[in-house]
Structure 1
Amino acid sequence: MENKALCAICGEGHVTAQTREVETEYKGTKALLPMHYQLCDTCTSDYAGMAESKLNKRIVMAFRKQVDGLLTGAEITALRKQYQLTQAQAAKLFGGGPVAFSKYENDDVAQSEAMDTLLRLVRRSPAAFWALVEEKGLQTEIAKPQSPLRSMSKVVSITAVRAEVGSPDPSYNPREFRRRSFSHGAVPCLQ
């Protein structure tokens, strides 16, 4: 017989892990997100314990990052592994504090837009990464690999056109650019 935990509400029944799709809205975007909870077989109470609450918070944060056009935790992990960095090395190189990358990668917190832009730049450009390593003086701690690293993202070509005098100034919107170029790891959205 499986050793199940006792119910925190009634203390008599045993709880089982459950998942339910819950509609969530953030900044006008709706999505069905899997929310985790415990269900008692005696009193039929359902509740989210500490572990379920932490997991649910991370699921919601990942959805919010996607809506805001920020890199997801999985994308940040892939970037760090692309350059064979530990989380501590990534924190020294990019800033954000000693445990920042653990929090970014686990979707505990969202990185700032400036941090996201820097991460996207080095993801696209190994030359920018190595220039940053040199700028921070971390050449001895972060050694160049024998084989050259290749960028894991698509190359985007942008052509600049000078506007006529008196015409409105077209401005770059990084969030709109990210939304258009975001292609994988998407949460199904409802419109």
Structure 2
Amino acid sequence: MNNLEICPVCCEGHLHSYHFSREISYKNVTCMADVFESSKCDTCGSCVATHAQTKYNKLLNINFQRAVDGLLSTHEVHRIRKKLKLSQRVASSIIGGGGNAFSKYESGVIKQSVAVDNMLRVLDLKPALIEVLVQADEQRRALASVQTEIYIPPAIPQKPADSPVFSFFKEVVMAAQTAFLPTIVEQTINSPLGLNAINFEFCGSRTE
């Protein structure tokens, strides 16, 4: 008695489990199953399904749907994963589903896809092939971790930088212009011929 759950209805009696039959249907298939579970209070007579029994009944229903769809049952998915020695997280990553999909497959929350189901059947017959999937997953992770820098040239062409030789001569010309040009202009102005006495250019002077 100490291991039995207290009835949530009267809070006095204890719950005793029993099996019952129920008709279940999916697509065009109907089945009468007599393995569903529930509990009955020995004091008030109320019928209550515990949390574990509700989960079990849900698995029965979803495994019936899997059988109609031709998919592996939740127990088979769990068995094959254990045979391959994979955690639920790793199996979700390398076989299919992503995230924590295998936890949902095995608990009956969702059904696996046909592609995942086929892969599990192949791996059940040829467990050594799991190494191929492990290596492929490692390669994808390695590629995803590589950082690539791409250079995009500017849309408008930029003026090429001056060469060292050109820069040197440019500085020399500017220095000569600064040092000698004012003197030449002053001499020309003071000349009797005025500004017509000399005709000078940027990089030197020439007298006509």
Give the whole-Å Cα distance in 2 for the aligned partners of 1:41 and 1:92: 48
- Rg larger in structure: 2
CA drift at 1:46:
0.5
CA change 1:132–1:44 in 2 (3 A) is same
Partner Cα distance (2:35, 2:113) in 1: 26
Which structure exhibits the higher relative contact order, with contacts defined as CA atoms closer than 8 Å and separated by 6 or more residues?
A: 1
- Partner residue in 2 for 1:88: 89
The alignment covers a number of residue pairs equal to 138
Structure 1 unaligned residues grouped into runs of 5+: 139-191
CA–CA separation in structure 2 for the residues paired with 1:136 and 1:107:
26
Structure 1 range deviating more: 65-74 or 10-19? 10-19
- Cα deviation for residue 65 of structure 1 reads 0.8
In the other structure, the counterpart of 1:72 is 73
What are the superposed Cα offsets for residues 32-84 of structure 1, whole Å, 9 maximum, x if unpaired? Answer: 14211120112211122322211111111111111110011222222222322
1:19 Cα shift?
1.7
Please list the CA deviations of residues 2-55 of structure 1 after superposition, one character each: whole Å capped at 9, or x if unmatched: 453322112232211222122222223233142111201122111223222111
Higher share of residues assigned helix:
2
Which residue does 2:30 correspond to in 1?
Answer: 30
Please tell me whether the aligned partners of residues 14 and 41 of structure 2 are also in contact (alpha carbons under 8 angstroms). yes
**Could you tell me the TM-score, scaled by structure 1's length?**
0.62
Deviations 1:135-161, CA, capped at 9 Å, x for gaps: 2117xxxxxxxxxxxxxxxxxxxxxxx
Name the TM-score, length of structure 2 as normaliser.
0.58
Deviation at 1:126, TM superposition (A): 4.4
**Cα RMSD (Å) of the superposition?**
2.2
Query: What is the CA distance between 1:113 and its match in structure 2?
Result: 1.9
CA distance in 2, matches of 1:3, 1:124: 42
AA of the residue aligned to 2:38? Y
